[in-house]
């Protein structure tokens, strides 16, 4: 994809759009970033008085969201990740519809979206939720973590030997799992996977970049969760 064809990712640092950054980097797909502060829904890079509202672009004010070179607007993290991996020219990363692992890719993308992201993180990080409610939500985690642990017992990544778009989503989950107070210690395979994924050079670089960006734009999501 040439620079003139580069897609624009609306990105709130450390949120789920970081999974899209992971995916693009690992897939070798160039993207442009439009940073935003998810707490006040403003786009970053404009004067304070003229900062556009992200709500004018996406009425729900959520990420991930991506604008393709031809103007198509794509939302939902799992779909954005699918779009990004489809742009990849790396045969060990891209899974087309006729690939034997294509439906497994869809399976794990949707697992991350529904069973981890929305089922657990959405409530645990919801500031208005009471502590008892958050505790009950955390109680939903062990069966899901155990399923992942078992699945990873005979493979280094979700689809086998190579990192995929689904791994980009799961890796983002681990960026915030400690902050969500999720106990991973009983799941040795999952702990090994987490260490393996977070040690990838591109992943480490993007996490460091997001931490810096988060503080610079005043979103401070780590302290606000």
Which CATH number fits the domain that encloses residue 21? Answer: 3.40.30.10
Residues 138 and 52 in one domain: no
Pair (186, 209) in one structural domain: no
pLDDT at 126: 85
Kindly give the residue spans of alpha helices, DSSP state H, lying in the chain: 17-27, 77-87, 102-111, 122-124, 131-138, 141-151, 165-176, 188-198, 201-216, 221-224
Residues 6+ apart with CB under 8 A from 127: 224
CA–CA separation, 197 and 175 (whole Å): 10
Residue 127 pLDDT:
81
Let me know: does 161 contact 155? Beta carbons within 8 Å: yes
- One domain, residues 188 and 112: yes
C-alpha to C-alpha distances, 138 to 39, 145, 182, 189, nearest whole angstrom: 24, 11, 7, 20
What's the pLDDT at 4? Answer: 43
pLDDT digits (tens, 9 = 90+) for 162-172: 999 999 999 99
* Dihedral (Cα; 204, 210, 213, 215), 10-degree rounding: -100
Query: What's the pLDDT score for residue 90?
Result: 96
SS3 70: coil
Task: Specify whether 74 is located in the same domain as 131.
Answer: no
Residue 196 sits in the same domain as residue 208:
no
| Beta partners for residue 8, in sequence order | 32, 67
Report the CATH number that the domain containing residue 156 is assigned in CATH: 1.20.1050.10
Which residues, given as ranges, of the chain have pLDDT below 50?
1-4, 47-48
Degrees, nearest 5: CA angle 86-92-97: 40
pLDDT attached to residue 125: 86
pTM of the entire predicted model? 0.94
d(CA 23, CA 29): 8
Check whether residue 117 and residue 158 sit in a common domain. Answer: yes
Number of folded domains that form the chain: 2
Contact 58, 75 (CB under 8 A): yes
pLDDT, residue 177, reads 94
| pLDDT, tens digit, 9 for 90 and up, residues 114-130 | 999 999 998 988 888 89
The strands making up 42-43's β-sheet, listed across from edge to edge, are: 42-43, 31-37, 7-11, 65-67, 73-75
Q: Are residues 87 and 106 in the same domain?
A: no
Domain that holds residue 83: 3-93+203-224
23, 29, 30, 36: CA torsion to nearest 10: -20
Q: In whole angstroms, what is the distance from residue 157 CA to residue 17 CA?
A: 20
Supply the pLDDT for residue 211: 95
Partner residues linked to 9 by β-bridges:
33, 66
pLDDT, position 138: 94
Q: Are 95 and 85 spatial neighbours (Cβ–Cβ below 8 Å)? A: yes
């Amino acid at each position: 994809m040439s620079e003139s064809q580069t897609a624009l990712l609306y990105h709130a640092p450390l949120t789920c759009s970081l999974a899209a950054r992971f995916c693009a980097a690992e897939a070798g797909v160039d993207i442009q970033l439009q940073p935003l502060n998810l707490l006040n829904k403003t786009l970053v890079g404009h004067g304070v008085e003229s900062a556009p509202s992200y709500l004018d672009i996406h009425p729900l004010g959520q990420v991930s969201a991506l604008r393709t070179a031809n103007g198509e607007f794509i939302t939902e993290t799992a779909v954005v990740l699918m779009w990004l991996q489809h742009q990849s020219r790396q045969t060990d990363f891209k899974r087309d519809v006729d690939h034997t692992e294509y439906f497994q890719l869809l399976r794990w993308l949707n697992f991350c979206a529904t069973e981890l992201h929305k089922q657990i993180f959405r409530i645990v990080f919801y500031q208005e939720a009471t502590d008892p409610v958050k505790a009950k939500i955390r109680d939903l985690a062990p069966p899901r973590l155990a399923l992942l642990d078992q699945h990873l017992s005979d493979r280094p990544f979700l689809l086998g030997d190579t990192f995929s778009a689904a791994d980009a989503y799961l890796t983002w989950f681990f960026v915030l799992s400690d902050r969500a107070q999720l106990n991973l210690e009983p799941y040795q395979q999952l702990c090994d996977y987490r260490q393996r994924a977070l040690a990838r050079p591109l992943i480490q670089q993007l996490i460091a970049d997001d931490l810096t960006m988060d503080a610079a734009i005043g979103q401070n999501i780590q302290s606000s969760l």
